[in-house]
Structures are given as structure tokens and as C-alpha cells.
Structure 1
Amino acid sequence: MSANTDDGLLIVSEEICEQVIRRPDAFSAVEAVFGAMARGDAYNFPVVREAIGHADALYGFKSGFDRAGMVLGVKAGGYWPGNMAKGLTNHQSTVCLFDPDTGRLTALVGGNYLTALRTAASSAVSIAHLARKDAKVLGMVGAGHQSTFQLRAAAEQRDFDKVVAWNPHPDMLPRLAAVAEELGLAFEAVTPEELGAQADVIITITSAFEPLIMADWIKPGTHIACMGTDTKGKQEVDPALLKSATVFADEIAQSITIGEAQHAIASGLIGEGDLTAIGEVINGTHPGRSSADEITLFDGTGVGLQDLAVASVAARLAREQGLVTPVAL
């Protein structure tokens, strides 16, 4: 549902977003919009993403229209790699929501917290629909800002009893260890090879430009959610892994151009027809996992409709709870 325009423009801060929206809200919103995309009821517009030639930053726009949910808007923002040293989140973004009936701006919503939340919801949706029901060990590749969101969301989808993790900078792993302890899960820092040998579900959430996980390290029946590759040139896993796995994507067109699949496509290991939109599984038009030994891979590139969906929920909840005061533009 789009933000109500009757009372003016809603400005929903980062703090309010953190206060009103929870993981189940984000999960439901992302799952619904993936299903709408697969039905042709929601459309992402072409992504604009450019290196601006300053501060090593990437900046761009993701936008779209969800006819099923009546949500229209754009997320503007990007990635500033030096922000952490300034006490800021590297990812910076704001979501603008518009009334689909009139085109009026209805809400400005802080996008930083929601970006991490919706990205974690996306991998969680893939785990819910594709991972083995008896999955016990969760593998985490990456320990940056978004990793704790990923871990918390994943832990709600299966009855895990252990987390194994690897990060290029080992000094960042304690943040994951602390969350695992909070969740009552055993934690072990491992090599990438050991991670592949132990994990039933693997989440990669890095900004890598080379494979971190090789195909022959992955055991049968594993589900992998590749969540870090969202730009041309980025890469987290061995392209051969996509050939040996059944591959699902948030959006196929984006996956083959800027997602993990770009490398397997470019090398001829797979074709566009080898990818299935995860919305097909959500809608019941694709069976998803077909056996206990099948390796499944979700290429989560991050689509604008995810941002719009969670921002719309945040704006609605903030309005209902009386936490925002509409202003005239």
C-alpha cells in the first residue's frame, strides 16, 4: 500500500524505520513482491549505477512499480567505501514513494537500515523456499555491516545449531560470533574450504571481485545465497558452481548483467534459460528443490521493488503509530 497523500508528505527517518519495521514485516513484503514480479504484476525499471569519480563512490537509482501492492517509487543512493572510517554506513540511500494515481510525492524514507533489512529478507526468502528442511549448519562468508542482518534473518528460517564463518579480515568475525551467541548457536571461524565442507546453507555477503568459494568445496544438498554481487565485475563464487547448481534469481535480467550469474553467462557455462525467478517458487509454478542432494543457488542482486516494498510498509506503520507528522512540499 502506498503512503496516503491526503495529509501531505511523510518523512520517515532511519530511527523511525528501525523502530517500526521488523524482520517478519520485511520478509512478507519481499516475498510478496517477488511473487508479483513473477506474475508480471510488478516491474523494475532499468537500473542506473555509476562510479562518480569522487570518494571511490558508486551512485545510482533503482525504481519500479508494483501494481499488486500499488507502490511506486525510486531509491537513490550508493556505496561510499570510506564511510566506515567516518562513523557512517558505507551504503547510503533514501527512498522516495509516489502516489500511483496522481504522481504526487507521498514519503521520503531513510533507506540505510531498510537496505540491510530487505537484503537479509531476500536471502531468508530463498532459504525458506529452497534450503533443505533439515539444514543444521549455516555458513557465513563476509562479516561487514549487513552480515549480522543476514545471520539473524537466516536463523529464523531453519533450526540451525551452528554457524561457521570466514571473512577476508578475521578481526571482523567477533561481531558475527556475538550474534550467534545471542541466538544460542555454536560459532566457529573456519577456512573457506572448511566452511564449504560443513555448511548446509551458505550466505555470501561481501564486496569481492573474485571467487571466494569454489565449486568443489560445496557438498551435495547445500543452498547458497549469493547476496553481495550487484555490480558489473563483482564476484563471490566460482562460476562453475552455477553450472552444477540449480540457479534462482530475484530478477533474471539483472542477475545475468550485474549479478553473480554474469560470469557464468559470459564464460558460456550457463545460459539465461538456466535461471528461474524465485517468484516462480513462491507462486507454486516451479517446484524449487527437487532432491536432498540438489545444490541450489540464489543470485540476490537486489532490486528496487524490494526497497519500495519495505519502505512502503515502514511509512504505513509510522503513520499508523503516529510517529510522523505530514508536511506540505
Structure 2
Amino acid sequence: MIIVPENQIAELMTPADCLVAVEEVFASMAKRSAYNFPVIREAIGYADALYGFKSGFDRANLALGLKSGGFWPNNVQKGLANHQSSVFLFDADTGKCRAVVGGNLLTALRTAAASAISIKHLARKDAKVLGMIGAGHQSTFQLRAAVEQCSFEKILAWNFHPEMLSRLEEVARELELPFEAVELDRLGAESDVIISITSSFAPILKASQVRPGTHLACMGTDTKGKQEMEAGLVAAATVFTDEIAQAVTIGECQHAIERKLLSRADITELGAVITGRHPGRSSPDEITLFDGTGVGLQDLAVASAAVAHAVSRGTAIEVDF
């Protein structure tokens, strides 16, 4: 069995590597050669933790396995990341455990890759202003990945706790892009692309605040009750997602579905755009929305790539198991 510890991931996997792996997964899902198994996510009644599993199988590259982990809100007091996860890969021919891979950084990278892919395929090609809603740990990964897809000229940002916006401002400075902390009305009025990456359970952005032609990437924590966008805004947009089953139950679409403002038939898999079965954006004035719920197949894809890199570079740890 191969072990790729967390401390190796940063040297093994680039954001570009993750984008390629996740884009291939979306395409494989759209072709029905890959599928995700039902998600398990539970509050364990200890340490205020949420714990769960995401798993699946991709027949195209024989990626079989699961990501196990969750959210421990008190970890920051222990000098640890609140999000903790590990990916387990299994041999599709025998069922033997093939590899265990540190999943913390990979989760951040693959989540950012998913929104970047949505920007690549759905945002207007002349998009110039990027709006960021949320300034937590994941936000910097989102920002770095997004700017690789469009020639953004300015970054606007808003957060529940404005003092946290300094982390995004620092990244914008590194990228040599102007940065402004603004109110939501201005962010919505000026942004061509908006990424939301929060753990909100109440709508932050309203339909009246978003201008025609905007692309929205809703990437915040997905669970029952989560909400970053007003249900009417979701219904007004052309909606895409990684997996429809998750979007309507734990994703941004759930509230519009519950209020019957949106139906499952109104939601398109992003993989259908990647494979050419759906045209994606149909006009410059169309509002597009990507509901990124995060699927197990993404984790398996980036973990498999990390294992391949570790083996080729001779840094993989091999143990009898």
C-alpha cells in the first residue's frame, strides 16, 4: 500500500494538475462512466464535529475509493485545520487498499478547481471584475484559481467579518490586482463573476443586486439548510452543477427546489458543457450559476494524480498491508 502524507501534497500537486483532474471527472460523470455513491454526513455528538464519507467509482480511470473526514470547529485552538480529511483508494480489480492520501490541501485545491472550471466554461469571455463573498481559509484558493481563467482587472470582496478580508487583499497584491472591500450592493452591481465561499444558512446575495451577464459560483459548505443566494436569484439563473442529486438536497439549489421555483429538469451538469452536449452560456446577458456541491469523484481524481506523481518522483511511502 502507498501512503502519501499531507506534508507531500503541496510539492506534488499544482492547481493546474487539479483543474485537469476535476475537469476530466466532470466529463466522465456526464458520459455516465463515473458515479458517486450516497453521501454520509453526521453530527457525531462529540467535539461539535461533523463527520462523513464521500465515495464513488470512475470506470474510465478505475478510480475507486472514498474520502473520510469532516469539520472539527475547535481544532484552531489546537493549532490544527478545522477541516480534516483523508482519501482511501482501492484496487478496482481486487478491492485491496491501494493508497492512503492526505486530503486537507487536496480538498481545498479541488474545490477551487471546480469553480475555476465553471468560470472557464460559463463566464463571459470579457469578464473583468471578480467579486468574492467570504474570506475564510478556502477563499484564497478560490481567488488564485479564478484569476487563471479570466483577465480580471479588479477584485471586489465582502465578508461577514470585514477584518478577515486582509487575507484576500494580500493575495490580490501578490497577483498585482487592485482590491477593494465593498458592500454587497456594489459588489453585485460591478462584478462579472462572483464566487461565494461561506458557511451561511441564510441568503446573502439577492436577485436585485446581480446584474445581467454575471456568472455565480456558489462554493460554500454544502449541507441541509445551507444558503448563500436568494432562492429567487437561483431561479432566475441558468443553473449548472457537479451533481444534480446533491444540488437539490444539500446544495444551493435546495431552497429554490423546495419553493418550486426550480425543478431538477432546470439543472444541467457542468460535464455536459465540457463534453459539448450543452452549449453553456447562451447570451451575454444571461446569468449563469454553478452550484458546486463537491463530489467524492473529485477527491478520488486528485488523490490518484497525487499518488501517480509521488510514485514517479520516488517519494511515495510503501508499506505491507
Same fold (TM over 0.5): yes
**Correspondence 1:107-186 to 2 at 5 A:** 107-186=99-178
Q: TM-score, normalised by structure 1?
A: 0.97
Structure 2 unaligned spans of 5+: none
CA distance in 2, matches of 1:192, 1:259: 22
Counterpart check, 1:283 vs 2:275: yes
Counterpart check, 1:223 vs 2:215: yes
**Correspondence 1:20-99 to 2 at 5 A:** 20-99=12-91
Q: Indicate conservation of the 8 Å contact 2:4/2:317, yes or no.
A: no
Aligned pair count reads 321
CA distance in 1, matches of 2:10, 2:89: 18
Aligned residue identity for 1:68:
A
Structure 1 unaligned spans of 5+: 1-8
CA distance in 1, matches of 2:73, 2:111: 18
Q: Indicate conservation of the 8 Å contact 2:122/2:215, yes or no.
A: yes
CA RMSD of aligned residues (A): 0.7
Q: TM-score, normalised by structure 2?
A: 0.99
Structure 2 counterpart SS, 1:301: coil
Structure 1 counterpart SS, 2:248: helix
Aligned residue identity for 2:180:
E
Among 267, 270, 273, the residue aligned to 2:262: 270
Aligned residue identity for 2:218:
C
CA distance in 2, matches of 1:274, 1:304: 23
Counterpart check, 1:254 vs 2:207: no
CA distance in 1, matches of 2:188, 2:234: 15
Aligned residue identity for 2:206:
M
CA distance in 1, matches of 2:76, 2:210: 32
CA distance in 2, matches of 1:292, 1:80: 42
Aligned residue identity for 2:246:
Q
Identity %: 64
The Cα shift of 1:55 comes to 1.8
Structure 2 counterpart SS, 1:173: helix
CA distance in 1, matches of 2:202, 2:76: 23
Counterpart check, 1:295 vs 2:287: yes
| Superposed CA offset, 1:37-90 (max 9, x none) | 011000100000011112221100000001111100000001112222322111
CA distance in 2, matches of 1:290, 1:89: 41
CA distance in 1, matches of 2:183, 2:277: 38
| Superposed CA offset, 1:74-124 (max 9, x none) | 000011122223221111000000011111101100000000000000000
Q: Indicate conservation of the 8 Å contact 1:229/1:258, yes or no.
A: no
The Cα shift of 1:246 comes to 0.1
User: What corresponds to 2:181 in structure 1?
Assistant: 189
| Superposed CA offset, 1:217-270 (max 9, x none) | 000000000001410011111010111100001000110000000000001111
CA distance in 1, matches of 2:78, 2:208: 40
The Cα shift of 1:325 comes to 2.5
Structure 1 counterpart SS, 2:35: strand
Q: Indicate conservation of the 8 Å contact 1:193/1:217, yes or no.
A: yes
**Correspondence 1:190-205 to 2 at 5 A:** 190-205=182-197
CA distance in 1, matches of 2:2, 2:181: 44
